[in-house]
Amino acid sequence: MNIKKIFGAAILMAGSTMSAHADLVLDTFEYTSIDPSGNIVSGAELTFDDDDGAGATFGGVTVTSPDTFGVDSGLGTTGSDAITSAQGTYVGLSAAQGFTVYDLNATGSPEFLDPELKTGAGTLSIKAGNEVGYSATISYSDPSATIDIPGPNPQDFASAGEYFYFDVIAADNANGDSFSVDVTVFDGMGDSSTAALTVPTGVISNQRLLLSFASFSGVDFEDVVGVVADITALGTALDISLDEVGIVPEPTSIALLGLGLLGLGLRSRKKA
């Protein structure tokens, strides 16, 4: 066995963060939806440029129709999610086929430039505008087992891993600005639990942030019917970009696998 190759593979596996394989991708910020004409749209894009989604557009389609969400909701429909109770605008099905709802709210006195949220091309981008801060809510749920039979379709997150991950492309978490992410998990028994993601201070660039399932209590990760991520930012200059959200195994298990390969290579070399 080539010890240099084994050593290199072990180091890559032990030190990988952003490149680590995710067993379950929840969201890539590209959605499959239905436009107002009833056409299926792949890679649907969303733009919020005002509070509560007012003036939100979807590839030139303006949001106008308030409604309660259902399996036949069209692109840009606004209302309340039946599983998570999140209020906002329905954008379509996520990478994990989750029924996805967005909401964006500015905090502080309104000024001439509100925060702006965009999705598409595999990226979620939020620009601060001139407000004191903003909050963005992303809700994922699957309210129907089939298109004809309503009811939750539980997902087994525990078999996919032990951590939520948020891949941050960029965030300037400095100069008095800050942001936080609270995640709420809902199970099929009607229980829910919320935990906070640990966000480092300073400038964040191409970094994977992890939230352990162990941080939650009283919720069954083998029977998940909904997840809500609440992003809150304070400051007039805090822009945030994400490129993926999902679930991964315990990071230490990846590192131990890499170290195990290294040990195997050293043992083989000693025998040779």
Q: What is the pLDDT of residues 76-134, one digit of tens each?
A: 777 888 889 888 888 888 888 888 888 888 776 555 567 788 887 889 988 876 666 78
Q: Are 125 and 239 in contact (CB under 8 A)?
A: yes
Q: Are residues 111 and 10 in the same domain?
A: no
Q: What is the pLDDT of residues 20-48, one digit of tens each?
A: 444 689 999 988 877 767 777 788 777 87
Q: Are residues 136 and 268 in the same domain?
A: no
Q: What is the CA radius of gyration of the chain?
A: 21
Sign of CA dihedral 172, 216, 243, 13: positive
Q: Are residues 59 and 98 in the same domain?
A: yes
Q: Can you give the residue range of the structural domain that contains 263?
A: 1-21+250-272
Q: What is the pLDDT of residues 208-258, one digit of tens each?
A: 999 999 999 999 999 999 999 999 887 666 788 999 999 999 875 444 444
Q: Are residues 186 and 258 in the same domain?
A: no
Q: Are 60 and 44 in contact (CB under 8 A)?
A: no
Q: What is the pLDDT of residues 175-211, one digit of tens each?
A: 667 788 999 999 999 999 999 998 887 888 999 999 9
Q: Are residues 7 and 116 in the same domain?
A: no
> For the whole model, what pTM was predicted?
0.79
Q: Are residues 119 and 224 in the same domain?
A: yes
Q: Are residues 267 and 233 in the same domain?
A: no
> Alpha-carbon distance 32 to 28, whole Å?
11
Q: Are residues 99 and 180 in the same domain?
A: yes
